[in-house]
Structure 1
Amino acid sequence: MKKILIVNAHQYYDAVAKGELTQSYINRATKFFLENGFEIKHTDIENGYEVEDECDKFEWADVILFQYPVYWMGVPWIVKKYFDETFTQGRHYLNDGRSRDDKSKRYGSGGLLKGKKYMLSITYNCPKSEFNNKDGFFDGLSLDEANIATHKTFQFVGLEPLKTYSVHDIFKGDLDLNKELVKFEDTLRENFL
């Protein structure tokens, strides 16, 4: 894995989401990958993109690092638009995977990006204790289960997941960003080295 696409999927909101935290993770990832001999391309969804260029980047990359804040239990709305515009071009999947002639072919298996991987890196305001907790807000779901729509979007085009990173309680006031960036880099090391 030597070619990586880093996608900044942040959406700016003046009062609560200016993007500094997301950019800190993007900067640390960029430094990590450069130091370890990766070729890097970047996309900052909010700053605009050309659909065909994004399709090319997904085909070029061995791995996609997808950095985003969770807004209302999902990706920011501009990210859904990004998926709709780039993944519906027909370049990343042949069809939905099913076949009239071969009943063993299953829905969601027609992705053309097989052999490539992705990593989610997520910023959350909710505490980590809400996951894997039957009494928690997410009704016992794990972090990855709570982000199933994003995982399934990538799976549909053939990508395979790497270990997810997440930071929690970002508005609580006691976030130790340096400590979290060390944990993030440990996850990068585990996934990529």
Structure 2
Amino acid sequence: MQKIFVINGGQHFAHSGGAFNKTLTALDQSFFTTENGFELQVTDINQPYDPAEEVAKYVWADTIIYHFPVWWFSMPNKLKEYIDVVFTAGHRNGMYYSDGRKSATPDLHYGTGGLMQGRKYMVTTTWNAPETAFTLPGEFFNQTSVDDGVLFGFHRMNAFLSLEKIEGIHFHDLEKNVTQQQIDDYSGRYLRHLEQSFISSELSLAS
């Protein structure tokens, strides 16, 4: 059984209800079943949580999946608080031992003190920005991808734990111009991505 830990970082705030992040989490729950060869745990950052229990979920998991909307080019504040609290509790408790440096070489090997070698993570993000804002010359993000730009620090954060990245997926234009057809198309795209990342890849490795 593959052990999957899903973190729903969609936050209830102002005009945002985190609806599509709930949809993605529900798709996870329909996909990561025992019949498909998975064990699943889920955390919703809008609900109360115990830091020690969250650390245990990280240490338990083979793969951590993060879902969150991008707010002002970063994580929502409750998800950032969750990360701050849980990662601090995970120090020398299975997530990371130190920042990796030794007193004899203080300038070298920063970020190599993670304890989660062999485990993986995947991230999805949701945006009001259209995909073209990242790809067209002269548009806002200067042709810099989500992963190389806004999420660069997020990916290094997970590397600090020694987690290996599984290619994620990003969903655009989900506020100003969203339609039900778009939601349905994105949902299908996400399920195909899960199939390719978690079932087809395992069959390929086994063959």
**TM-score surpassing 0.5?**
yes
Query: Would the aligned equivalents of 1:163 and 1:187 in 2 still touch at CA under 8 Å?
Result: no
2:88 matched to which residue of 1? 88
Shift of 1:138: 1.5
CA distance in 1, matches of 2:141, 2:10: 23
Given that 1:97 and 1:107 are in contact with CA atoms closer than 8 Å, whether structure 2 keeps it comes out as: yes
SS at match of 2:27: helix
Tell me the residue number matched to 1:128: 131
Alpha carbons of 1:104 and 1:71: their partners in 2 closer, same or farther (altered >3 Å)?
Answer: closer
1:174 corresponding residue in structure 2: 179
In 1, Cα distance between the equivalents of 2:135 and 2:163? 25
Look up the match of 1:112. Answer: 115
Give how far 1:173 is off. Answer: 3.1
User: d(CA) in 2 for partners of 1:2 and 1:153?
Assistant: 23
Q: Which amino acid aligns with 1:178?
A: D
* TM-score, normalised by the number of residues in structure 2: 0.87
Runs of 5+ unmatched residues, structure 2: 200-207
Contact 2:9–2:79 (CA under 8 A) maintained in structure 1: yes
State the distance in 1 between where 2:192 and 2:30 align: 13
Contact 2:18 2:69 in 1 (8 A): no
Identity of aligned residues (%): 32
Partner of 1:65 in structure 2?
65
The worse-fitting range, judged by mean Cα deviation, of 90-99 and 45-54 is 90-99
Deviation at 1:140, TM superposition (A): 2.3
Change in Cα spacing, 1:97 to 1:43, as seen in structure 2 (3 Å) is same
- What count of residue pairs does the alignment treat as equivalent? 192
Q: TM-score, normalised by structure 1?
A: 0.93
